[in-house]
Amino acid sequence: MPVIHRHSGYVLTDHRIAVPLDHDDPGGRTIEMFAREVVAADRAAADLPWLVYLEGGPGHRAPRAFPGWLERASRDYRVVLVDQRGTGLSTPATRQTLTGLDDPVGYLRHFRADSIVRDAELLRAHLAGERPWTVLGQSFGGFCALTYLSLAPDGLREVMIAGGLPSLTASPYEVYLAAYPRVLAHNEQFFARYPGDQEAAARVVDHLREHEVRLPGGDRLTPRRFQTVGITFGQQGRLDTLHHLLEDAFAGNGELSDMFLRRVDAVVSFAEHPLYALLHEAIYCQGEESAWAAQRALGEFPEFDLERGGPVRFTGEMIFPWLFEEDPALAPLRSYAERLAAYSSWPDLYDLDRLARNTVPVAAVIYHDDMYVEREHSLRTAEMVGGLTYWITNEYAHDGLSRGPGALDRLIGMVRS
Residues annotated as part of the active site: 139, 370, 398
CB 360 within 8 A of CB 148: no
- Residue 131 CA to residue 154 CA, distance in Å, equals 9
| Distance separating alpha carbons of residues 4 and 267, to the nearest angstrom | 33
Whole-angstrom distance, CA of residue 273 vs CA of residue 251:
30
Q: Is 349 helix (H, G, I), strand (E, B) or coil?
A: coil
Nearest to 358 by CA among 325, 339, 383: 383
Asked whether the CA dihedral 370, 374, 375, 381 is positive or negative, the reply is negative
For the chain, what's the residue count? Answer: 417
- List, in order, residues 6 or more apart from 258 with CB less than 8 Å away: 216, 251
Beta bridge partner(s), residue 18: 32
Cα dihedral 342, 346, 352, 357 sign: negative
How, if at all, do strands 50-54 and 133-138 pair? parallel
- What CA–CA distances, in Å, run from 25 to 142, 364, 403? 26, 34, 41
Residues in contact with 325: Cβ distance below 8 Å, sequence separation at least 6, in sequence order: 331, 334
Q: 20 pairs with which residues across the strands? A: 30
Give yes or no for a contact between 229 and 260, defined as CB atoms under 8 angstroms apart. Answer: no
